[in-house]
């Protein structure tokens, strides 16, 4: 069934012409022919922030009805499922059985297909790498009608291109994932304060034996407070206990997007001061269920509406560890001086484990992710100045979060993009791919 679809992603930025949608379920045997549609692109839960999940003027394949669990091997810890299954649905199935997903992003409301296509990462990259490191196999439906099973041993080049390949190699219909065992549903969590980028780096280096690490940083702080934040580290409780997935009900919802963003310099400054004070009072070690640690924003339905009708950008970069503290200081100083409002500022350290994906974003170094209300030229000018710092350092930007990087920035961020382009399905495209690949 086809229908018109508003061309918006999670960032809710005003975008170009809408696409036509076609529902893809497990009975979906072939992609629409050339005489029916122009370009194709699959999408799942639309949690990508920018335009990598948008195909304006083309056809989008809605995979949310690809929602079957096919096989769970509770002895080996492997799960075979359709690509439209969400991570929340997987957790509800496997946690009561003593299993867990080895990599989780900041929301559980993403699909398996989206997790593979963006090669998502979590708070434990230094231990477990990215999502693609735990995909045993996937099935890909190409526009030539072939259904190809891909793994590191079969169709290896297409497998590497599809992991982190932004949905451009064809329609992922199913995947086999490796799980990790857990004894209970709780984590040991410790929160600590840091007062500079140097202190963050030191804490991060000292916390590599903790499975999960993540920091919130106050990007509005200046002068003597610049670079301060709250560092959190966690590990699974080893002793047997309850095994509940939780996360069943949202505590609040934003019913509509206000005409003007509720996120501005005044509200963010007040929030950051209060959050830092609250975090400073909650230091120490405690046990808690995994849900609030991994998915704090999932308790608020439609939180993206906070940013108003013009939507918001998320800017996420990674910079090398060598010289990384000075680069972080430059980025934070530039953001603070701009007075652009971002209270969702997340700082982490990536480890050495390489993904099988050709376009995988994580690489050794520090990654900083920030949300900014869309204020037009002023916001884009800030991003260009941040790009200059990141590119000069040999860093990269994250396509899943992007809505404006240039073709030159993309090429410098992903030297493997020329090899990747050889595996792109000729019928698949997105607004992102048109923007970063000249002439498409």
- Contact yes or no for 114/105 (Cβ under 8 A): no
The SS3 of residue 346 is: strand
pLDDT reported for residue 210: 98
Strands 186-194 and 40-43: unpaired
- Contact yes or no for 315/383 (Cβ under 8 A): yes
201: CB partners within 8 A, 6+ apart: 324, 325, 328, 349, 366
Fold of 186-409: Alpha-Beta Plaits (3.30.70)
The size of the chain, in residues, is 440
- Name the helix (H) or strand (E) containing 135: strand 135-141
Residue 138 zone, left/alpha/beta (φ > 0; ψ -120 to 50; rest): beta
- For 28, counting Cβ atoms within 10 Å of its Cβ (0-12 exposed, 13-18 middle, 19+ buried), the class is middle
- Contact yes or no for 40/56 (Cβ under 8 A): no
Q: With CA atoms as reference, report the closest residue to 103 among 93, 118, 82.
A: 118
User: Which runs of consecutive H residues, i.e. helices, occur in 62-124?
Assistant: 87-94, 112-117
Place of tokens 């939507």: 311
- For 269, counting Cβ atoms within 10 Å of its Cβ (0-12 exposed, 13-18 middle, 19+ buried), the class is middle
**pLDDT tens-digit profile, the chain (440 residues):** 444 445 578 888 876 566 788 888 877 777 877 666 689 999 998 899 999 999 998 999 999 999 999 999 999 999 999 999 999 999 999 999 999 999 999 999 999 999 999 999 999 999 999 999 999 999 999 999 999 999 999 999 999 999 999 999 999 999 999 999 999 999 999 999 999 999 999 999 999 999 999 999 998 877 767 789 999 999 999 999 999 998 756 566 767 677 767 777 777 777 777 777 777 777 889 999 999 999 998 888 888 888 888 899 999 999 999 999 999 999 999 998 898 877 789 999 999 999 999 999 999 999 999 999 999 999 999 999 999 999 999 999 999 999 999 999 999 999 999 999 999 999 999 999 999 986 45
How far apart CA 440 and CA 123 sit, in angstroms, is 35
- Contact yes or no for 368/324 (Cβ under 8 A): no
pLDDT reported for residue 35: 65
Residue 166 zone, left/alpha/beta (φ > 0; ψ -120 to 50; rest): left
357: CB partners within 8 A, 6+ apart: 119, 130, 132, 160, 161, 162, 163, 164, 165
Cα angle at 290 between 284 and 296, to 5 degrees?
A: 85
- Contact yes or no for 347/228 (Cβ under 8 A): no
Strands 59-65 and 19-25: parallel
pLDDT reported for residue 14: 73
321: CB partners within 8 A, 6+ apart: 349, 364, 365, 366
pLDDT reported for residue 254: 67
């Amino acid at each position: 069934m086809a229908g018109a679809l508003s061309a918006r992603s999670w960032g809710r930025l005003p975008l170009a012409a809408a696409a036509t949608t076609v529902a893809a379920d497990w009975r979906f045997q072939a992609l629409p022919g050339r005489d029916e549609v122009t370009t194709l692109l699959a999408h799942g839960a639309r949690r990508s922030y920018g335009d990598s999940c948008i195909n304006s003027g083309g056809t989008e394949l809605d995979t949310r009805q690809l929602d079957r669990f096919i096989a769970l091997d509770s002895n080996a810890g492997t799960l075979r499922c359709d690509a439209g299954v969400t991570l929340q649905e997987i957790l509800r199935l496997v946690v009561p059985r003593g299993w867990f997903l080895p990599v989780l992003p900041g929301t559980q409301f993403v699909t398996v297909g989206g997790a593979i296509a963006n090669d998502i990462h979590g708070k434990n990259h230094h231990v477990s790498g990215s999502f693609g490191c735990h995909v045993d196999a996937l099935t890909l439906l190409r526009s030539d009608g072939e259904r190809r099973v891909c793994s590191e041993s079969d169709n290896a080049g297409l497998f590497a291109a599809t992991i982190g390949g932004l949905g451009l190699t064809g329609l992922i219909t199913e995947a086999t994932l490796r799980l990790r065992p857990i004894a209970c549903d709780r984590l040991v969590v410790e929160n600590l304060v840091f007062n500079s980028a140097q202190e963050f780096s030191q804490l991060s280096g000292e916390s590599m034996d903790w499975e999960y690490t993540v920091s919130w940083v106050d990007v509005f702080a200046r002068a003597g407070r610049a670079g301060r934040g709250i560092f959190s580290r966690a590990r699974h409780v080893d002793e047997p206990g309850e095994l509940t997935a939780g996360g069943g009900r949202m505590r609040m919802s934003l019913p509509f997007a206000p005409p003007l963003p509720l996120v501005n310099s005044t509200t963010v400054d007040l929030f950051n001061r209060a959050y830092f004070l609250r975090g400073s009072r909650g230091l120490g070690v405690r046990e808690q269920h995994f849900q609030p640690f991994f998915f704090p924003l999932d308790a608020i339905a439609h939180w993206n509406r906070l940013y108003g009708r013009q939507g918001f950008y998320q800017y996420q970069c990674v910079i090398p560890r060598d010289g990384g503290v000075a680069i972080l200081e430059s980025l934070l100083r530039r953001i603070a001086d701009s007075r652009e409002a971002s209270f969702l500022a997340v700082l982490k350290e990536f480890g050495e484990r390489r993904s099988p994906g050709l376009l995988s974003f994580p690489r050794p170094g520090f990654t900083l992710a920030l949300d900014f209300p869309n204020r037009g030229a002023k916001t884009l000018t800030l991003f260009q100045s941040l790009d200059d710092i990141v590119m000069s350092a040999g860093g990269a930007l994250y396509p899943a979060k992007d809505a404006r990087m240039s073709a030159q920035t993309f090429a410098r961020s992903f030297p493997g993009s020329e090899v990747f382009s050889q595996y792109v399905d000729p019928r698949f495209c997105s607004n992102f791919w048109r923007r970063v690949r000249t002439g498409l």
